[in-house]
Amino acid sequence: MKNELNAQAVSAMMQAVSLHVIANTDALTDADLAIGDGDHGIGMRRGFEAVLQQLSDWEPESPEAVMKQSGMAIMSKTGGAAGAVFGTVFRSGSKALAGVATIDAASLGDFLSDGCAAAAKRGGAAPGQKTMLDALAPAAEAARKHAPDGLYAALDAAHASAVNGLEKTRAMVATTGKARSLGERSIGHIDPGALSICLIIEAMRDFAKTT
Amino acid sequence: MAAKKILNDPRNVVSEMIEGLVLANDGRVRKLDGVDAIVRTDLPAGKVALLIGGGSGHEPVFHGFVGANMADGAACGQVFAAPSPEIVYEAAKAVHRGNGIVFLYGNYAGDNMNFDIASEMLEDDGIDVRTIRVRDDVAAAPPERMDDRRGVAGDLYMIKIVGGAATELTDIDEVERVARKAEAAIRSIGVAVSPGSIPETGKLTFELGEDEIEVGMGAHGEAGVSRQKLAPADDVADQLADALLRDLPFHGGDEVALLINNLGATTMMEMLIVNRRIRQILADRNISVHRSDVGTYLTVQEMAGFSITLMKLDAELKHFLDLPCDSFGFKQP
């Protein structure tokens, strides 16, 4: 376990994240079919395939560049609301990493937190509306709180909070996005975007554990 | 079970569809290199540009409505997914003729965000962008929450009117004024009989019982106002007409355009039977029909069902609606 990731390690982590999201395409499709139009899985796959393509054979100069380019790739290839929101998390979140040579637990918490705030602003949404924010906001908060415990511990806590947030979306009524027209009928289903957040942070945590 | 469709690799549906669409336009539109967007080949200098767009899979909306007196270009997303800011930005740059750009698209979270990001990028380049979101689906939300309403088949009349205005008017403020007036005068509602599927997943986007229909269902299978038993055409038409007429509301003496849209797999026979009833209802209420369009304009893949759109007209809207136009999906001599 390392407590600091340089640009190359962050790139390797984002490639692991991409592979994990792509491997879960069907789970994301099924989650979206229950509550939306069923395109979340293939959209996220398109976006993270673009991240893989961007990061392979590229020598990044900084962790900020890795996250920014990942965000650009997601935003240009995913499409839909997911492309705008997930692209914004990485692109805007990357600004929190300006000037740092390595990511540690504290800067990772800042990245998640700033990315979350930017995504909320872009989507005009807040936690509690059954969106990806319901997993990302608690994850960012947990990462910051557990920053003194080291990178793996912070990501492990972030993941646990994201999963807890994901489960809470089950009881929520969707009040934004395509699912809002379901109203009460959206109760009982998890939010597919929140599931994507869990997968992303899960892969980050597993990377931190084995590095 | 995967839906039955004649496709090549389902991941390539959008690019292959665009290639076929460009060819079907016989030289009047071209595809941008490396970007899923099409633009007219004969754009006059100094024209106010009209860029439309949205997710694919709803053909001929949106990209089928690029042409003379219609849109100047279209940004195409993947199936049911908004185009990325990059696609919108490149398409906007390609249609811009130095006199500003009007964005016209359906009011969906994904489209709003992606077009907004592109709009911010264009503003950084010093280009004037005006945004018109079509919000004609009365089933999506009550009138006091217009911003929660989605854009459906009313897209056609909006593109027709704004396309005409962007051709004849040289001031983008004026084009925007006409667009906002048109947008405020249009209402739609649909009914779904059976679902459509996304090519890449092969899965139906919703489930509906053998003897069920859903009134007010959205263009991606978003829940409507009520799920009910299959009923005679006249009863369904009465229900839809009632929801439409009381929403604007439309009054006796009004003059309207009437559009009956096939969501994909409904027979023309059913649509004409519905048209017959809608015309009886409008005649009973002393609402005159200036023009009617019955056909396939906004589809949801193989979804069966139809939607009804009414637009209240004045002399100016009639003028732009009646202009000749030439696009793959809609032509008017």
Take residue A193 and report the two structure tokens written for it: 């975007």
Would you call A43 and B78 a contact, using CB atoms and an 8 Å cutoff?
A: yes
Measured between beta carbons, the chain A residues lying within 8 angstroms of B110 are: 79-84
Residues 6 or more apart whose Cβ sits within 8 Å of residue A119: A85, A86, A88, A89, A92, A132, A133, A136
pLDDT digits (tens, 9 = 90+) for A85-143: 999 999 999 999 999 999 999 999 999 999 999 999 999 999 999 999 999 999 999 99
pLDDT digits (tens, 9 = 90+) for A21-59: 999 999 999 999 888 888 899 999 999 999 999 999 899
∠A22-B90-A98 over CA atoms, to 5°?
A: 60
Report whether B299 contacts B29 (CB < 8 A).
no
Would you call A75 and B80 a contact, using CB atoms and an 8 Å cutoff?
A: no
Take residue B291 and report the two structure tokens written for it: 């023009």
In chain B, CATH 3.30.1180.20 sits at: 186-321
Pairing of strands B101-106, B255-262: unpaired
Residues 6 or more apart whose Cβ sits within 8 Å of residue A169: A130, A131, A134, A135, A190, A191, A194
Span B186-321: which CATH code? 3.30.1180.20
What is the edge-to-edge ordering of all strands in the sheet holding B186-194? B226-229, B212-215, B186-194, B304-312, B255-262, B288-295
Measured in residues, chain A has a length of: 211
Cross-chain CB nearest to A79 (options B82, B117, B203): B82
Would you call A79 and B84 a contact, using CB atoms and an 8 Å cutoff?
A: yes
pLDDT digits (tens, 9 = 90+) for B117-134: 999 999 999 999 999 999
Catalytic residue (one of B63, B96, B220, B251): B220
CATH for A144: 1.25.40.340
Cross-chain CB nearest to A84 (options B113, B140, B218): B113
Pick the closest to residue B25 from B81, B71, B72, B66 (CA basis): B66
User: Which one-letter amino acid corresponds to residue B273?
Assistant: I
Would you call A43 and B218 a contact, using CB atoms and an 8 Å cutoff?
A: no
Q: Which of A26, A32, A39, A173 to mutate to test the interface with B (most CBs of B within 10 A)?
A: A39
Measured between beta carbons, the chain A residues lying within 8 angstroms of B80 are: 37, 39, 80
User: Of the CATH numbers 3.90.1720.10, 3.30.450.20, 3.40.50.10440, 1.10.3810.10, which one belongs to the domain with range B10-184?
Assistant: 3.40.50.10440
Q: Look at residue B212 in the predicted model and tell me its pLDDT.
A: 96
Residues 6 or more apart whose Cβ sits within 8 Å of residue A40: A28, A29, A31, A32, A80, A82, A192, A193, A196
Q: How far is residue B326's CA from residue B65's CA, in Å, rounded to a whole number?
A: 8
Residue A156 clears pLDDT 60, i.e. is over it? yes
Of residues A36 and A173, more confidence is placed in A173
Give the residue numbers in A contacting B (CB under 8 Å), as ranges: 29, 33, 36-39, 41-43, 46, 75-85, 122-123, 176-183, 185
Measured between beta carbons, the chain A residues lying within 8 angstroms of B223 are: 181-183, 185
How many angstroms separate the CA of residue A54 from the nearest CA in chain B?
16
Cross-chain CB nearest to A38 (options B109, B205, B218): B205
Q: Look at residue A28 in the predicted model and tell me its pLDDT.
A: 96
Domain residues for A56?
A: 5-210
* B97 phi, psi to nearest 5 deg: -120, 25
Residue of B nearest to A186 (CA): B223
Report whether A67 contacts A97 (CB < 8 A).
yes
Per-residue pLDDT of chain B (333 residues; tens, 9 = 90+): 568 899 999 999 999 999 999 999 999 999 999 999 999 999 999 999 999 999 999 999 999 999 999 999 999 999 999 999 999 999 999 999 999 999 999 999 999 999 999 999 999 999 999 999 999 999 999 999 999 999 999 999 999 999 999 999 999 999 999 999 999 999 999 999 999 998 988 888 888 999 999 999 888 877 788 899 999 999 999 999 999 999 999 999 999 999 999 999 999 999 999 999 999 999 999 999 999 999 999 999 999 999 999 999 999 999 999 999 999 999 999
In chain B, CATH 3.40.50.10440 sits at: 10-184
Catalytic residue (one of B58, B251, B290, B319): B58
Q: Look at residue B1 in the predicted model and tell me its pLDDT.
A: 57
